[in-house]
Amino acid sequence: MTNLEKYSSTYKKVFELDDSIDVTTLTFQGIPLWDSIGHMNLIASLEEAFNVQFEIDDIIDLSSYEKGKEILTKLGVDFN
């Protein structure tokens, strides 16, 4: 599995989404499950999947699928 696949599947798993949903458009509070509780679940799952530790700025900035990719890239995850 590529990092990008792993990244997308984390969103699907945490937010219980099927393949009909385009995960790349997801934003905080854009779907019912991505509320503050869902957000903390997402953070924990991403930290585990990529073996990284988010800082407070990362956690409060991770407001969309795209933003999350930028943050992980900064932490050394290669999406290419």
Partner 1 sequence: MIFERLNQFRNNIAFIEKNNTCNYSDIIEYGIKFADKFYTKNILCLIVTGNNAATIISYLSAVEHNIPALLVNKPKKNTELLSIINNYKPKYIFLSTQDSFDENIKNITSKQIYSIFDYSLIETIYDTDYDIHHDLSILLTTSGSTGTNKYVRLSKKNILSNAQSIIQYLNISENDRVITTLPFSYSYGLSIINTHILSGASIMLSEYSIIQREFWQLLSATNATTFGGVPYTYEMMQRLKFERMNIPNISYITQAGGRLNTNLTQYFLEECSKKNIQFFKMYGQTEATARISYLEPKYLYEKTDSIGKAIPNGELFVVDENNNYLSSNETGELIYKGSNVCMGYAESCYDLHTGDENNGILHTGDIGYYDKDGFFYITGRKKRFLKVFGNRINLDELENKLNINGCLCACSGVDDKIKIYVCSEDMKNKAALLLKDTLDIHPSGYSIEIIKEIPRNSTGKIQYSLLG
Smaller CB separation from partner 1, 3 or 12:
12
d(CA 7, CA 9) in angstroms, rounded, equals 6
Pick the closest to residue 9 from 55, 48, 63 (CA basis): 48
Name the maximum alpha-carbon separation found in the chain.
32
Handedness of CA 72, 33, 16, 31 (dihedral sign): negative
Q: How far is the CB of 48 from partner 1 (least distance, A)?
A: 14
Question: Which residues sit at the interface with partner 1, rule CB under 8 A?
Answer: 16, 28, 32-33, 35-41, 43, 55-56, 59-61, 63
Smaller CB separation from partner 1, 4 or 43:
43
Q: How far is the CB of 63 from partner 1 (least distance, A)?
A: 7
Smaller CB separation from partner 1, 6 or 38:
38
